[in-house]
Amino acid sequence: MTDSVKTGCADGMTAATGETFAKTDIEIPPGGFTLSDPRRLTDGASRRLQAKKLTVDFFAVIPAGSTMSAQALGESFVANKAKFEQAMGDSYAAAYEANTGAAPAGFTGVTASDKVEIDTGDSPGTTPGGGEPLPSPTPGGAAPSPAAEEEGDNTGMIVGIIVGVILGLGALGGLFYLYKKKKAAE
């Protein structure tokens, strides 16, 4: 899957910027794949098993011989986001099928972020390929906001509610016991 995503990202970046990107120009850092559940209360959501949303954070090293700066490439990406989404989606699906022999199950397309980060690689170790890193669009969708991250895992909230209900019932039971004891004493 990673190989297919890199191929799709390279083809999408090529379509959006006009520069030729290769799969080797695409880097996916550790933790670059984030799988999340869609919101249940969104329009059109049924009560069936929901498909997952995959967010991919990646960066691209500007290819050798590029005539555009990182800033110009980032602006070109944002201006041509629809070209990236189309080319990345088509290329990913084709590469995945070529790599596995089957079409990607549940794949419905790509939604790229409107925001890019530009890292000039001034800090050591930021550019594994040794070039100027390019923006970090997220083909799976926009990078999750803190609110979206909170939606993903609500186990703590459920445990808190259960503990709260148990303590509340215990307090009510204790008050009822004291009330009955006081009535009996009178």
Q: Are strands 53-56 and 59-60 parallel, antiparallel or unpaired?
A: unpaired
Pair (144, 165) in one structural domain = no
The tokens describing 14, both together, are 């090529």
Pair (87, 164) in one structural domain = no
Which residue bears the tokens 């001034």?
A: 122
Looking at residue 86, its pLDDT comes to 86
Pair (126, 163) in one structural domain = no
C-alpha–C-alpha distance, residues 182 and 180, integer Å: 5
Contact 86, 16 (CB under 8 A): no
Pair (25, 63) in one structural domain = yes
Looking at residue 143, its pLDDT comes to 40
Contact 55, 140 (CB under 8 A): yes
pLDDT digits (tens, 9 = 90+) for 33-42: 777 766 555 5
Q: How many CB atoms are closer than 10 A to CB 105?
A: 7
Looking at residue 48, its pLDDT comes to 57
Pair (100, 180) in one structural domain = no
Pair (122, 159) in one structural domain = no
Pair (124, 76) in one structural domain = yes
C-alpha–C-alpha distance, residues 77 and 71, integer Å: 10
How many domains does the chain contain in total?
2
| Nearest partner of 13 among 55, 61, 53, judged by Cα | 61
Pair (35, 105) in one structural domain = yes
C-alpha–C-alpha distance, residues 22 and 11, integer Å: 8
The tokens describing 34, both together, are 């984030």
Return per-residue pLDDT of the chain as tens, 186 residues. Answer: 788 888 888 888 888 888 888 888 888 888 777 777 665 555 555 555 566 777 787 878 887 888 888 888 888 888 888 888 888 888 888 888 888 888 887 777 788 777 777 776 654 444 444 444 444 444 444 344 444 444 456 777 788 888 888 988 888 888 888 888 888 888
pLDDT digits (tens, 9 = 90+) for 120-159: 665 444 444 444 444 444 444 434 444 444 445 677 778 8
Q: Where are the alpha helices (DSSP H) in the chain?
A: 2-17, 70-79, 81-100, 146-152, 155-185
Which residue bears the tokens 């990345």?
A: 88
Pair (44, 114) in one structural domain = yes
Pair (179, 109) in one structural domain = no
Pair (87, 41) in one structural domain = yes
Give the domain range for residue 181: 155-186
| Distance, CA of 37 to chain centre | 10
Pair (148, 160) in one structural domain = no
Looking at residue 132, its pLDDT comes to 45
Looking at residue 45, its pLDDT comes to 53
User: Which pTM does this prediction carry?
Assistant: 0.57
C-alpha–C-alpha distance, residues 88 and 12, integer Å: 4
